[in-house]
Amino acid sequence: MSDIADRAIWRIEKDVHNAMAHVRKQQMLESDGRCHFCDEQIAPALLFCNMDCRDDYDKEKAALRRAGR
Ligand SMILES: [Zn+2]
Q: How much distance in Å is there from the Cα of 64 to the middle of ligand 1? A: 19
How far is the C-alpha of 60 from the C-alpha of 32, rounded, in Å?
20
Q: In this structure, are 18 and 37 located in the same domain?
A: no
Q: In this structure, are 23 and 54 located in the same domain?
A: no
In the prediction, which pLDDT does 27 show? 56
Q: How much distance in Å is there from the Cα of 37 to the middle of ligand 1? A: 5
Average pLDDT over residues 2-14: 88
How far is the C-alpha of 8 from the C-alpha of 44, rounded, in Å?
34
Q: Tell me: the pLDDT tens digits for 22-45?
A: 766 655 788 899 999 999 999 998
Strand partners, 67: none
For residue 49, the enclosing domain spans: 31-69
Cβ within 8 Å of residue 41, ≥6 positions away: 33, 34, 35
Q: How many domains does the chain have?
A: 2
